Amino acid sequence: MSTPPQSPPPEQPSEPPAQPSAYPYPHPQSPGPGGTAAFPPPAAPTPPGGQNFYATPTLVGQPGPAQAAAGPYHQPGGYGPVAAPPAGGGAGGAGRAVLWAVVGALVASAAWAAGVFLIGGRGADADLRGYTAPSNLCSSADYSSFKDEYPQDDDSPTHSELEDAALDESYCNLGLEKSGSTYSDAYLSIEVSLHKKTDPAPEFTAKWKNYAQSRKGYDVDTVTGIGDEAYLVSEDTTDTSDSGSMDVTLAVRDGWVTYTMNYSVYLSSYDEDDTSPKLDEVTDWLKTDTGATLKELRS
């Protein structure tokens, strides 16, 4: 049995046929004849003014053209370089900011120093002028001017003392007795304070100069010739009533030292001797004994 002759195989093309593409035009980057792109990529449109908004933006961390020439400009915190600051707001602006900060600090320091100087701040030295606050002011104070009216001594005067880094203070309270008295006919209190941290002048003036504002019926008179400033504060009703009273205080400030001497008497209609010294007399006694005591406290 003979084999039928077979047909020769079809001739294979040298190149595969072109495959259909979803893009109907040649690929923009495909080279055409001669090795050039058949359709070069269109240029990004440029709006009026010349600025191209379609250009690739310079991101944080990528240097711009100006920075590339000037060198890297690093942002704080180690996050890498950033674009250089615009002209006019770079090193000159930062320098001006630093300059104004320095000037502000100098002005603030000068204002603080001036305030401390003007108000006598914490760094000021205490102006004590050699005064001391004795442990027993009753034995150191001079009240001899009252002896003619009250010759008998108090057998048990009271006194106290305070010693601290900020304040030294001594206080004395004693009774004044007439001849033959078995009890005190009047009272005398004395106090000296050495202010070692703050100047007492403003508060001293406010308290004693304006004493009549808080205590109705009192009179305030300025006294000269004793310390830096002194005030006599008094209330006297002994001339208008058999049971009147007299309260007189001489307050003195000398530097940072304050001193007060107070006399008080209370009359009763039951007293056999209802007489008492006059206000002018007491005023003179207080001035004389205050001057003598202050001198004693400085020796």
Considering the domain boundaries, does residue 27 fall inside one? no
Rounded CA-CA distance 204/251 in Å is 9
Same domain, 103 and 187: no
Name residues whose C-beta falls within 8 Å of residue 127's C-beta, 6 or more positions apart in sequence: 199, 255, 256
Partnered with residue 170 across adjacent β-strands are 161, 192
Q: Tell me, what amino acid is at 14?
A: S
Same domain, 168 and 262: yes
Of 133, 142, 177, which Cα lies nearest the Cα of 156? 177
User: Which position has the higher pLDDT, 40 or 266?
Assistant: 266
Tokens found for residue 151: 């010759």
Considering the domain boundaries, does residue 12 fall inside one? no
Same domain, 149 and 194: yes
Say which residue the tokens 């010349």 belong to.
Answer: 50
Where residue 126 falls among pLDDT bands split at 50, 70, 90? very high
Say which residue the tokens 């010693």 belong to.
Answer: 163
Same domain, 281 and 141: yes
Main-chain dihedrals φ then ψ at residue 266, nearest 5 degrees: -130, 120
> Averaged over 259-267, what is the pLDDT?
96
In this structure, the number of other CB atoms found within 10 A of the CB of residue 235 comes to 18
Considering the domain boundaries, does residue 45 fall inside one? no
Whether the per-residue pLDDT at 265 is higher than 80: the answer is yes
Rounded CA-CA distance 212/229 in Å is 17
Considering the domain boundaries, does residue 224 fall inside one? yes
CA angle at residue 289 from 286 to 293, to 5 degrees?
A: 130
Considering the domain boundaries, does residue 248 fall inside one? yes
Considering the domain boundaries, does residue 33 fall inside one? no
In this structure, the number of other CB atoms found within 10 A of the CB of residue 261 comes to 25
Give per-residue pLDDT as tens, 9-55. Answer: 555 545 555 544 444 444 444 444 444 444 455 555 555 454 554 44
Same domain, 104 and 246: no
Same domain, 142 and 96: no
Same domain, 164 and 285: yes
Q: What is the pTM of this model?
A: 0.60
Same domain, 151 and 204: yes
Residue-number span of the structural domain to which 107 is assigned: 90-119
Mean pLDDT lowest for which of 47-51, 150-154, 167-171? 47-51
Same domain, 114 and 185: no
Of 235, 221, 237, which Cα lies nearest the Cα of 287? 221
* Per-position DSSP letters for 58-111, written without gaps between them: PPTTS--HHHHHH---BPTTT--B-PPPPTTSSHHHHHHHHHHHHHHHHHHHHH
Number of domains in the chain: 2
Tokens found for residue 35: 């090795």
Same domain, 107 and 141: no
Rounded CA-CA distance 253/297 in Å is 14
Contact at 8 Å (CB) between 190 and 141? Answer: yes
pLDDT at 37: 47
Partnered with residue 74 across adjacent β-strands are 81
Beta strands 245-254 and 158-163: pairing type? unpaired
Considering the domain boundaries, does residue 19 fall inside one? no
Same domain, 199 and 283: yes
Same domain, 166 and 255: yes
Tokens found for residue 253: 């400030």
Considering the domain boundaries, does residue 56 fall inside one? no
